[in-house]
């Protein structure tokens, strides 16, 4: 007889980095980010199994469940937070929020006693103040410095171009004089929010206001040389009991401001230059073991359990040669790249697809879906998508944000 598995509880809270930066257990995202979390709340169901539970602000329609069955998805229980807290399962396996923060710990506090003993002994069961730094881009910078030092390669970003931490306007101006163009980032932020590219001089007053606002709010800013990007790659890992497992590589795309747009599925996009593809393959073989080594020796290995993704950047230097920043950021949480690896199983193996996020203040996600379904009708073979458009998140006429597949 198969032993019953206690349900895991999933929650989509992609604003976890901001909650970590703020540190207050009562922190709440602003209105637009709350709307994004609510509209995309069903996303974790692709990680969940049948008797797991996904927390949502409102339960989806029967149509949505029927829609999922087309690609062979048996959805987990999808319940509101109120329903779950009023009537929790007798026993729970793990809590699986998108990412940890003092705020999410407080939110799920009342059901923690019902969790499995194995979860109660894991480092993520309680929040400790020293975890905060592990979620910052400064921690990724430390790993980058160790990696380039201990596993050197001529293809890595040059010593004189390595990211710096800035606390004053003068420090930023010094780097501007050195690098000419910059990418300035908030130490705790996600999905390309909290980024400010600087490609024109002099810097506009409004931009200075934003940059110094980051420093004031989070203590410092992370400053990089602005590179001529060729490709974004993210290596996905799982960390359990100090052991790091490599799960796969995702290729994501971002807009000019660095905001996340989506992921390529089933390999790199076809239109990519062969030299970039070869370079990506060669570098992956070098970087993956190096990352496992350096992160395995770090505080993260002792104080975290779960998924994480390491973003890297392939770019051309001023001579036109390909280079890579092997550890641009570490996302200590579930992430869209990891989700894209899970979504590949819904696509016919010979087909390439895209996983995309949607937001357009002018039209609702429902209208977008109607239009796209008309323009790109869904073609299935044995529950696999051969071509067409497939919405991944539930929607009504009030839905602004969405996620979808296009094959």
pLDDT in tens, 66-88: 999 999 999 999 999 999 999 99
- In order of their start, the domains of the chain are 9-127 (no CATH), 134-339 (3.30.470.20), 347-406 (no CATH)
pLDDT at 2 over 50: no
Q: For 215, how many CA atoms within 13 A lie in the half-sphere containing its CB?
A: 17
> Which distant-in-sequence residues (6+ apart) come within 8 Å of 390 by Cβ?
71, 346, 378, 404, 405, 406, 407
Phi, psi of 49 (to 5 degrees): -110, 175
Question: Quick one: tokens of 246?
Answer: 């490599």
Go through 360-376 and write b for each residue having 16 or more CB atoms within 10 A of its CB, e for each that does not. Answer: eeeebbbebbeebeeee
- Specify the pTM: 0.95
Please give the full DSSP string across 210-235, using - where no structure is assigned: HHHHHHHHHS-EEEEE--EEEEEEEE
Give 221-245 pLDDT, tens digit per residue.
Answer: 999 999 999 999 999 999 999 999 9
Does residue 259 surpass a pLDDT of 90? Answer: no
User: Distance (Å, rounded) from C-alpha 205 to C-alpha 286?
Assistant: 43
pLDDT (tens digit, 9 = 90+) per residue, 304-328?
A: 999 999 999 999 999 999 999 999 9
């Amino acid at each position: 007889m198969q032993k019953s598995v206690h349900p895991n509880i999933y929650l989509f809270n992609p604003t976890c980095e901001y909650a970590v930066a703020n540190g207050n257990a009562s922190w709440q995202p602003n209105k637009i980010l709350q709307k994004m979390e609510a509209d995309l709340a069903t996303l974790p169901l692709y990680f969940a199994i049948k008797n797991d539970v996904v927390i949502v602000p409102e339960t989806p329609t029967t149509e949505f469940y029927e829609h999922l069955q087309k690609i062979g998805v048996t959805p987990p229980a999808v319940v509101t937070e109120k329903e779950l807290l009023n009537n929790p399962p007798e026993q729970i396996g793990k809590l699986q929020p998108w990412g940890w923060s003092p705020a999410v710990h407080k939110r799920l506090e009342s059901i923690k006693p019902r969790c499995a003993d194995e979860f109660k002994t894991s480092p993520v069961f309680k929040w400790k103040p020293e975890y905060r730094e592990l979620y910052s881009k400064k921690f990724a910078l430390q790993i980058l410095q160790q990696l380039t030092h201990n596993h050197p390669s001529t293809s890595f970003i040059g010593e004189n171009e390595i990211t710096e931490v800035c606390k004053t306007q003068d420090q930023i101006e010094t780097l501007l004089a050195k690098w000419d163009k910059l990418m300035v980032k908030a130490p705790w932020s996600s999905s390309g929010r909290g980024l400010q590219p600087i490609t024109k001089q002099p810097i506009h007053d409004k931009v200075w206001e934003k940059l110094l606002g980051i420093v004031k709010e989070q203590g410092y800013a992370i400053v990089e040389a602005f590179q001529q990007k060729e490709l974004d790659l993210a290596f996905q890992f799982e960390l359990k009991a100090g052991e790091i497992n490599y799960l796969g590589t995702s290729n994501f795309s971002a807009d000019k401001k660095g905001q996340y747009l989506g992921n390529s599925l089933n390999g790199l996009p076809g239109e990519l230059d062969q030299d970039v593809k070869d370079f990506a393959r060669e570098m992956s073989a070098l970087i993956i073991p190096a990352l496992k080594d350096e992160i395995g020796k770090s505080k993260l290995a002792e104080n975290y359990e779960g998924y994480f993704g390491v973003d890297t950047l392939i770019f051309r230097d001023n001579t036109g040669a390909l280079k890579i920043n092997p550890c641009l950021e570490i996302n200590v949480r579930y992430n869209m790249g990891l989700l894209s690896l899970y979504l590949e199983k819904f696509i016919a193996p010979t087909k390439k697809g895209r996983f995309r996020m949607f937001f357009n203040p002018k039209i609702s996600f429902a209208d977008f879906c109607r239009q796209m379904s008309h323009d790109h009708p869904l073609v299935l073979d044995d529950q696999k998508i051969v071509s067409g458009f497939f919405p991944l998140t539930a929607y009504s006429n009030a839905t602004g944000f969405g996620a979808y597949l296009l094959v």
